[in-house]
Structure 1
Amino acid sequence: MPALNQSSLVLTQGDPAGIGPELTLKAWMRREEKDLPPFAALSDPVFLKSVAQSQGWDVPITAVEPAQISDIFPKALPVLPLHTSVSAQPGQPDAGAAASVVESIETAVELVRNGAASALVTNPIAKQVLYEAGFRHPGHTEFLAALASSGSEQTYHPVMMLWSEQLAVVPVTVHIPLADVPSALTTDLIVRTGRIVARELRERFGIANPRLALAGLNPHAGENRAMGSEDASIIVPAIDILRAEGIEATGPLPADTMFHARARSRYDAALAMYHDQALIPIKTIAFDEAVNVTLGLPFVRTSPDHGTAFDIAGQGIARPDSLIAAIKLAARLGAS
């Protein structure tokens, strides 16, 4: 087992043709300005050096073992080398990079599970690229849940939360067509999600009595069934169950009036019934600072709240704000 290094984080590679490598380098360059905790990149040192050189960035890069991360971090970007070599052209995704992307994620999970790192931060991946290489998981989060469950007697139910200082939102249903949401939304799913959110807000975020606000599915939260019955028949029973368990849950609330500043002051996290109902408000309020946090796993995982941005990869213009926020939040939660 590697020596414990509880103050250090590991960053996965992400798709090497995207902006992840640039953001990792930029985050390290701003380590003092942003008071960042020690972190290491899981990648190919030669590849990262080539990315830095292509931008004219003076970033010393050192291959390390997990126990060396904290010592090396102040003077060089620590890299935990992958067995798979990496090569990529910015903005040109290639299924040939899938092996290194997957190895980076698997290694990061192994490091946090065995205590060699306190948390992991994932750079963006392109699911379609992985699918072309035979990847069989719906997405990043589901893959992490499968890795967490491997060798364990417990099956983990991951929950995606988008967090910022101004707002935290959780989509109860995530990456499914809008037409499928009513049939996928169940009282059990809402209750299970609410339990996980309340527990993690207490245990990781230090909120003694978390307040959950649940959005309605339909306009005006159904307007007493005049605009749909799901709010009364599915969401209200879920709220009753959560309240009976001692969780402070309110709703269903009309989604068009629950995200202004005064309304946000009345809850700690909003549970939205579908993807865009959650992501539109947080990306409007905190586009550059929001962090994707996976709840319900036995380790801390955060990620920047954006994708691979192939269209600007290699230009050196991608902003590292969300990755920096993800690193800082991972360190905070990993220390809890």
Structure 2
Amino acid sequence: MPQPSLPVIAVTVGEPAGIGPEISIAAAWQLRHEVRPVLIGDAAYLAMLAADINPDINLMGVSLQALRNQGLPACGTDRMTVIDCPLNAHVIAGHLDARNGRSVLQTLDVAIESVQQGWCDAIVTAPLQKSTINDAGVAFSGHTEYFAEKTNTSRVVMMLASEANAHLPQPLRVALATTHLPLRQVADAIQFDDLLRTLEIIHADLRDKFGIAAPRILVAGLNPHAGENGYLGREEIDVITPVIRQAQQAGMQVSGPYPADTLFQQKYLEQADCVLAMYHDQGLPVLKHASFGLGGNITLGLPLIRTSVDHGTALDLAAQGVGHADIGSMIVAIRVAASMAKTH
């Protein structure tokens, strides 16, 4: 009986001087029987790095032109395909080089094209260094914003997710109403229409990409004690509660607002598929404390599947040579992308 086809996952290897290439190669090779990984980066550099990681790793480079002409070549589990995006300068691990900034950006464009053309089912991104791309003369604020712009998506939502582990009896998902904002700007950014749209995106993607028929979403308040009936702020009264009621009227299972300092208890989390936090450092420290290195970052609202790791480029680790970087988060990111691809 023929085996079911494996989901094809495009993996951009990120900043070449960081740990991205190493964790991409190592995690993809480990998961090659679960997914078909397609690495996107400099084929010659990745082949050299793969030999240092594990001499058994076998990579097959393919040019972008060949891919466009002939599609993705057949490939068994004894080797992995690399879509070649050549670098412009020699890589010194741990040392950034702006000459490679545009090549790193090209890997994102190729990943988007690979999904839009049907060559791949989902995208996983290794960490990159924003400064390298900006120093190359291209304004760049991050993966999320770039994918949204390139896919003409007006609003996206950042969600981090962790698999169950010794600290978490069940998977934990935390989405953010606001992302990378100075704290003094957060309250002004909590607006009715934006918050409602955020809940709609979370609900739709949990249903359509995660296969949860009736997602349960818990919403945190913004202020201490969720505003304490207006004595500690009115955002809960004026914005958050009305949004929750509107979402409920639309048929969504949404509840709150809950005080954030008591929300992340098992008795609440076991009744939830996702928690919506109002700002970055309200929700993510809890998830990362329980699962750092074992979490994945998912961009909701895109017309494609994109996940990532929950950490940065770790230039200091890369400078020490291979073997120091933890591939746990990349493993989770690839597995989450594959699961979403099977559901979507």
- Summarize the alignment of residues 1-336 of structure 1 with structure 2, pairs less than 5 Å apart: 7-31=7-31, 35-55=33-53, 57-64=55-62, 71-85=74-88, 87-149=90-152, 155-165=153-163, 166-313=171-318, 314-335=321-342, 336=344
Q: Deviations over 1:104-126 (max 9, x none)?
A: 00010011011111011111111
TM-score (norm 2): 0.89
Task: Note if contact 1:40-1:69 (Cα within 8 Å) is conserved in structure 2.
Answer: no
Q: Distance in 2 between matches of 1:53 and 1:207?
A: 41
SS in 2 for 1:72: coil
Aligned to 1:152: none
Q: 1:73 to 1:145 in 2, by over 3 A?
A: farther
Read off the aligned partner of 1:62 and give its amino acid letter: M
SS in 1 for 2:139: coil
Per-residue deviation, 1:17: 0.6
TM-score (norm 1): 0.91
Q: Distance in 1 between matches of 2:316 and 2:86?
A: 28
Q: Deviations over 1:83-141 (max 9, x none)?
A: 54563111111211111111000010011011111011111111122222223232111
Read off the aligned partner of 1:10 and give its amino acid letter: A
Shifted more, 79-88 versus 325-334: the winner is: 79-88
Shifted more, 46-55 versus 21-30: the winner is: 46-55
Q: Deviations over 1:138-162 (max 9, x none)?
A: 211110011112xxxxx43111110
What's the C-alpha RMSD, in Å, of the aligned pairs?
1.9
Per-residue deviation, 1:217: 0.5
- Structure 2: segments with no counterpart, 5+ residues: 164-170
Task: Note if contact 2:26-2:53 (Cα within 8 Å) is conserved in structure 1.
Answer: no
Per-residue deviation, 1:70: 7.8
SS in 1 for 2:316: coil
Per-residue deviation, 1:15: 0.5
Read off the aligned partner of 2:21 and give its amino acid letter: P
Q: Distance in 2 between matches of 1:144 and 1:327?
A: 18
Task: Note if contact 1:172-1:273 (Cα within 8 Å) is conserved in structure 2.
Answer: yes
SS in 2 for 1:36: coil
Q: Distance in 2 between matches of 1:80 and 1:330?
A: 19
Shifted more, 230-239 versus 65-74: the winner is: 65-74
Q: Distance in 1 between matches of 2:76 and 2:245?
A: 49
Task: Note if contact 1:12-1:121 (Cα within 8 Å) is conserved in structure 2.
Answer: yes
SS in 2 for 1:266: coil
